[in-house]
Amino acid sequence: MAKILIPTPLRQFTGKQDSVVAGGATVGEVLSALTTQYPDLRKQIFNDEGKLRSFVNVYLNDEDIRYLGKNATAVSDGDTLSLVPSIAGGSALVSENAARPVSAPENAAPEEVTLSNDEIMRYSRHLIIPEVGIEGQKKLKAAKVLLVGAGGLGAPLGLYLAAAGVGKIGLVDFDVVDFTNLQRQVIHSTKDVGRNKIDSAAEKMLAINPNVRIAKHEVALTSENALDIIKDYDYVVDGTDNFPTRYLVNDACVLLNKPNIYGSIFRFEGQATVFAYEGGPCYRCLYPEPPPPGLVPSCAEGGVLGILPGTIGLIQATETVKLILGIGESLVGRLLLYDALAMRFRELKLRKNPECPMCGEHRTITKLIDYHQFCGVPETTQAPPVTIGENQEAKVSEGEIDVIELKEKIDRGDNFVLIDVREPHEYKICSIPGARLIPLGEFPKHVGEFDPEADIVIHCRSGMRSAKACAVLKQNGFQHVRNVVGGILAWSDKVDPSVPKY
């Protein structure tokens, strides 16, 4: 029997269990036993042809089965299988099986970089470390690091890289500070709500260390501007929260030969590694394709422990400083997994895929592409609003219903079905009277309970999950299905302000 570790995004299909025991002589047999036990999990990890989906990696102990015998890899009693789904050029190859020692960076500190007496005092605890010393601190001062995102991961990154004395730090962000950010984005404060994140973050970083230079790029990173922005930096740190930008950052870093220090978070789990450095693997080597839209919830939908981005962001900051200094062993070729609930770190081997379309031996991607189309998600040119204010009118399209009209239907006593597809813990926070709770993960099982001719209205927190539930019903022949625009957030704004927002 083998133990199968189930990551958070897939636990909704295993009755919330974080591990399952299943039998089989090979990986394929074990996974078959797993999906027989949990049928709803099958379509999440296998495609219609029965092949493993490319956005779900399977590890036997700490080895990727793609580089073993794939599904035919033998499994012994006591082995551990890990399902690892995605959660948003180089020099000569080095060993793929061992941790890579950090080599001296090419951007060695130029001779003109000097430290003032004030800086020597400020960085004194660095200077007395033999591995850093005066020359190392000069390298930090000469370094140029780009932070993509000034949110949960960007907060500890910005604070600690500024404190460490990184000479130039670029910030890419176009969002504003919201109350819901304050639980984890510690670089922002209550008085910053409504302010541009990039201005708030820069202010705090300069308050810590006025010697650093902050370059603000208050734009959404796109295929049109990414190369121009990234080319002026030595290192790129990915603190984004969506798959289109993750693939964009990866591809731009590979094309420009820039290290990509990666981190991702979800609920209680995090990942960290270094991509596109010294011939090591890139993000596409790990995840050749993104998951279908909606499979992996965002932090806004699925939540995140506020402390978690601090842990992962600090790991990213540590890797960045090590690369600049040329000391220690980097995470190149290793994927670090962190489970905050178990307080456990695990390490999996990452290999460079020789057939990778981005960094492989026969590259097929030679320029930046349309990443929203690649990931199957609509493009947005501005940060999505968290609330709908009194003077804002939500656009209602066919198949949608405004909360005002929903309130009128309730008051008239219309004969219709109102469904809430959030999670039970969200329902306890607030609810719309008369709504039946059916979490989105369980929704397909209940389709047969509804009259195809019934008037059905579905809502969630903001309208994203309910749109997916509406699509499920429409695919099953339901004609009278509408999604509540703005979800319960809009209900709080426009109907009942006593309903708390989260």
Just list the catalytic residues: 299, 460
Are 417 and 455 spatial neighbours (Cβ–Cβ below 8 Å)?
yes
Distances (CA, A) of 115 to 6, 44, 136: 50, 54, 11
Closest CA to 162 of 96, 215, 118: 215
Say how far apart CA 491 and CA 500 lie, in whole Å: 10
DSSP string over 180-234: GGTTT-TTS-GGGTTSBHHHHHHHHHHHH-TTSEEEEE-S---TTTHHHHHTT-S
Indicate the pairing of strand 344-349 with strand 334-339. antiparallel
Give the three-class secondary structure for 298. coil
Kindly report the number of other CB atoms within 10 A of residue 73's CB atom: 19
Half-sphere exposure of 68 (CA within 13 A, CB side): 20
Are 438 and 446 spatial neighbours (Cβ–Cβ below 8 Å)?
yes
Say how far apart CA 454 and CA 366 lie, in whole Å: 51
How distant is the alpha carbon of residue 38 from its chain centre? Answer: 26
Say how far apart CA 252 and CA 254 lie, in whole Å: 5
Say how far apart CA 460 and CA 469 lie, in whole Å: 10
Say how far apart CA 332 and CA 350 lie, in whole Å: 8
Say how far apart CA 268 and CA 279 lie, in whole Å: 31
Say how far apart CA 186 and CA 104 lie, in whole Å: 32
Look-up of token digits 């998951």 = 291
Say how far apart CA 282 and CA 279 lie, in whole Å: 9
Look-up of token digits 């007496």 = 117
Look-up of token digits 């062993």 = 329
